[in-house]
Structure 1
Amino acid sequence: MKILHKTLLAFLLLFIASSYAQEGASSCAELQANFQQYQSCATSIPFQNTTNNNNGETYVTSCIGDQFQAPTWFFMKIQTSGNIFLQISQVDNNAFGTDVDFVLWGPFDNLNNICGQLNLSKEVDCSYAPDSVENVQIFNAEQGKFYILLVDNYDNTPGQITIAQTGGTGSSDCSFLSSVEILDTAGNEITELNYCKPASKDLVATIDINDFPGNAGDLRFNYKWYKDGVLVTNIVDSTSNTNTLTATETGLYKVEITAYDSTDPTVNPSRLEISADEIQLNFFDKPVLNAGPHTLQQCDFIAPNNDGFASVNLTELSNTITNSTSGITLSYFTDVALTQQIANPADFTNTTPFNQTIYVTGIFTAQSFPCVSNTAEIQLTINPTSVASYPDIAPVCPVLNTNSNTIDFDSQRILIKNTYFPTTAVEIAFYRNPSDASLEQNEVTNSSEFTSGVHTIYTRIETGNDCAGIGTFEVEVYDTPDQNPVTPIVVCEDESVILANKDAEILA
C-alpha cells in the first residue's frame, strides 16, 4: 500500500482509484517507468508489505550490504519545507514485530532516469538494524523536491508496515490522495455548463473512500464552497464523503476540502492538506411571452374568396406577444410540439381552413446560449370577405416635365372613415395590390409616386390587428401632354405680342 501522510486520508477519487494502487513499485525500474502510480506520504494507517520479490537490482548503500529481500519503492514530493522525521514499523499477521530496513535518497529536481542517480552521494538516511521499528530523518527538506524511499521486508514475512510522521515542520505532498471532484448527482462528470433560468444545478463534491483501509465511519471531511471567490458555505467535520451545493446563478464555483481520520492521534488540524476543484456555470435568462391566446382575423378576399385560406402576416402581433420587449426573435410553429416551424411568418398561408392555432416561442437574439421562452398562441381566423367599392380619387396631372405625381390619400382616408365607418374605430391603409393588402406590406402614402395611367388601390380596414374589410378605388395620373413645335414669332422691338394667338397651334 502506498505510504500516506498523517494529515490525509487514504482515499482516492473514482477517476484515479485504479492509478494509485495500495502497493508500491516492486523495483526501481518499475518506479521509474510508472512513477505516477507510486507517490507516497506518511500516515499512521498500516499497509500490506511485500514478500519474495527480489528482482536482482543492486545499489551501493552505506548500511545494506546484501541484496534487498522484499523491497517496496516509492517517491515522495515535499509540500512544506523543513525537517521531516518519520517512523517505520512492521508487524507480521499475528501483530509481532519483524525486521524492516530502509534507504532514502534525495533530493532530486525531477524523476527523469532516477534509478541511475541512486548512489551514496544522494543517500539521505539508511538503516539495516534488526529492528521492527526504524526512524527516518530528512533535514531541511525543500518544497517541490523529490525523494526516493525504499522499504525492505528483510524477513520476507507477510504482514503490515506503518509509516508515520513523528516530528518536524516540513511535510510531504499528499494532494494526490486528497483530490476532490465536482460531479453531478449521478456521480458523472458535469459536461453541460449552460442552463436556462429558473433551472438549477446540484454540484456534488465527491471523494471515493473505497481504498481507505480503516473504518470509513472514522473519516471526517471539511468542505468550503466559494462562488466567484466569496465563501458561501462552510461544513466542518462532516461524516459524509459527498457534499452538495445547488447553483442558480452564473459564476465560478469552487470547493476546497480537507479530511482526516478522527481516530489518528497524530493528526494536526492546522496542517491538513487542501484539495480543490472548480467549475464555471452559466445561467441565462429566457424571454417571458404574453401567452395569449391572441386572436388574429384575416379577410379572405383573393379568389376564391370563400375557401377559408388566405395569406397572413403573423408578425404583426409581435409587439403584443413580446410585450414590446426589444431584442427578442420569435419563431412560429403549426404544431404544439414545436416541430413544424413556419419558414416565412410574414407571408403565411394557413394549412387548416378558416381556423388554425399558431404556436410562438422566443429567444433573446444577442444571448450566446439560446434559452427558449414559454409558448404563446395565436388563434387565426380566416373570414370570407367581399370587396367593397369606394369613390375614385379625382385624376391628377403629372408634375411638370415628368410622367408621375403623388396622391392625396389622407383626404381619401377621411372620406372613407366618415362615409362608411362614422361610429367605428378603424385603421385604414392603402396598397397597390391584393397581396400587399393581405400581408400589410408596402403601404402607399401621400409621398408614394404614381406614374401616368389608371391604378387600382386596395384599401384595408382594420380594427386592432383584425381585418374588418377590403375595398378598392381608382386613381389616375394624366398622361404628359405632347410638346408640339410652334412657329417662331417675329416682331419688332416696340411691338406687342398676343401669346393666346398660339393656343391652337400649341394644342394641335
Structure 2
Amino acid sequence: MEIKLPNSFWDCQHYFKVNLKTIVPIVSFFLLMLSSTSVFAQGGGTCADIQPFCAGNDALIFANCNDQDPNCNATAEAGPDYGCLFSQPYPAWFYLQIDQPGNLDFEIVQNTAFNSNGDPIGQGLDVDFIAWGPFQPGDDLCDYTQLQSFNEVACSYSAQPIENFTIPNAQTGEIYVLVITNFNRSPGYIKLGQIGGDGSTNCDIVFDCSVTINEGDQNLCGEDEVLLTTTISGPVETYEWYLNDVLIVGETSSEYLATESGEYKVIANGTECNSPVEDIVNVSFGPIVTAETIDIIACDDSSNDGFEAFDLDGNSSRVLGNQDPDEFTVTYYLTQANADAGEAPLTSPYTNVTNPQTIYARVESNVSTVCYATSEVELKVEETVEITTDLPSSVDICDVEEFPVFDATPTNTDIDLSLVTYEWVDQDNNVLSTEAIFSPSAAGTYTVNIGYPCGDTSFTIEMMVLASPTVDLGADFQICANQTTILTANTDVEGVTYQWYLNSTLLEGETNNTLEVVIEQGTMGTQTYTVLVSNDQCTAEDSVDLTLYPITNCIISEGISPNGDGYNDILDLNFLNDRTGIRKIQIFNRFGTLVYEQDNYTNQWEGQTTDGDELPTGTYFYVIDLAGNDAVYGEQATGWIYLNKKAN
C-alpha cells in the first residue's frame, strides 16, 4: 500500500490512497461519440502545450497519458505550486474561458472504457486535479509565478476515479487553468464536463475552426473564370460549394473554378470542429470597358465670351464608341479622381468655366459597376464660321450634254478642311454621297449639308435637263454642176434659229431652214454643208456632203468606150436616176432590134446584150422611160449612143 500525502493540509483532504497493484484488465476497444460525448486527443503534456476546453453540449473524453505511452511526460514540470497534488504523474493541461457569469460545477471521471453515451463501463482509475485562476485575456497562462496557491481554485488528491469541483462566481472573460493527473499510470480515458451551475464556458476558444476563401470578393473585368481556393484551420473531412445558396452537385474539393457571377459559399466539416464552418464571397464577371477621348465643341453666341452650355449626354454615344448603350452608363466629372471614384457627377447641360476645359468621362458596365474606363473630354467654345463655296444655285444642261460635277469644298482659307463633313441629299432627303465632289444623274433639287465646328451650313442647287432640238439634212448626195439644189433643215421644234456653214465657214445671212446650193463646174472634192439649230439654250447640228456627178453638165452621153480604163466605160445615168428615177431603159441596134433592156437602170450598160454578150462597135439607139417628169427630158428620153469597141 502506498500512502498518498496531501501537499497542503488546509486545502486538501487528508486520506490514504491505496494502490492494490492488482492487474487491471485493459479494454482494447473504445466506443466513439454519437450524440452526447466527444472524444479528443489528450490535453497538453506541458503548460506550453496547454489545450483549450469548453463545457458545451458534450463532455470531453480523451485518452489519458500513461506509462505505456512513450510520448507522454511521466511527471508535471517544476515551477507551479501544485497544491494538494503530492505527485503529478502523466499530467494533462487545459484552460477554459467564462462565457456566462455564475457558478460552474465540473466532474472528472477516469476509466478504462466509456460507452457511446459517455458512461464509464470499465475499471475506474484514480484521477487527481488542481485548478488556478482567474486570469485575464492576454495573460501568460504559463507564468509559474501566477500558478501559485494564491490563485488556486480547487485541488483534489483523493483515490477516487471521480472528482468534482466548482468555480464560484466566475465572470465573463475570465480564464482558468486545470491540470488533471493519472495517479494509476494505467492506460484509460478521462471524461471532463460541466454538470451544473448557472455559468457557462466560451466554446469559441476550443471550436475555433474557420474556413477562408482566399481570393475574397472578386470583381473581374474581361475575364470569364476565377479559381476559388480555401484555407481551413484544422483537418477537413468534406467540402460543399454553393452558388446563390444552391448546392453545386459534385464539387467537394477545397477548390472551385467559378464561371458565373453570384454569391459563392463553401461549407467545410472539420474533424476537430464543433460544427461546420463556412465562408462566403461574391464574384462578379464584367466586360472589358473602353472610353473614347473626344472633343465637344460649342459655338459661341453673340456675346463672344467663350462660355456655353454643353450637352454632355448628347455626346455619350461618342464616348461609348462601338459599345452597346443599353449595357453601359456614361457619366462626367470635373476631376480624374472623381471619375475613378464615381463621385460628384456633372449634370447635363454643363457650362464650362474655362475655355478650353478638360473634364472626364466614366464608362461603367451595368452588369458589374467595378468594370469601368475613363477618358478625357475637351470642351471648346469656338467662334461661328461662315462657310463659302463655288457651288452655283442653279444649272441648266441639255440632254445631250454630260452631267456636271459639283465640288462643295469650302473656299475659306482659314479653316481646317480635315474637319469638314459633307452630305449630299436629293429633294426626298435621301443621302446620295458623303464626299465633297458629287455628280448627279438626273434633273432635280440637290442639297449639300456641310458640317464644320461652328460653321454648319447647306447649299441647294436646282438642276434642269433641257430637251435639245433635232435636225436632219438627209443623206449625202451628188448634184449636177451649176444646178440649183435646195437643202432643207428638218427639225422637231419651233422658234429655233439657223446658221449654215460651208466647209466650216459661216455663210453670212443664211438664217432660214432652207439653203440654195449651186456647185460650179470644175469644183473639186466634197462640199460639206452644215446647219446649226438653236433654241437659245440647246443646239443641234447636221451635215451633208455634196459632190458633182462625173457626167459633165449632167447630160446623157453620146458614146462610151468600155476598155477598163475607168473613163467613159459605162452609160452612167445616176444623175437622172437621182433626179427623176428610171423605170426602164431599152437599147436597139441600127436595124431596130432590141439588144439590151434593164428595169430601174442606173449605170449597168457597158456594151453588152441583155444576155451578157458583147455587142460590136457601132451606133445604138436608146429609149429611157423616166419615173417622173424630168425638167430636161420630160417623161421619156430618146437618142443615140456610139459604142466604141476598137479600144479593146
Between Structure 1 and Structure 2, which shows a larger proportion of helix residues?
1
* TM-score, length-scaled by structure 1: 0.44
Q: Mark the structure with the bigger radius of gyration.
A: 2
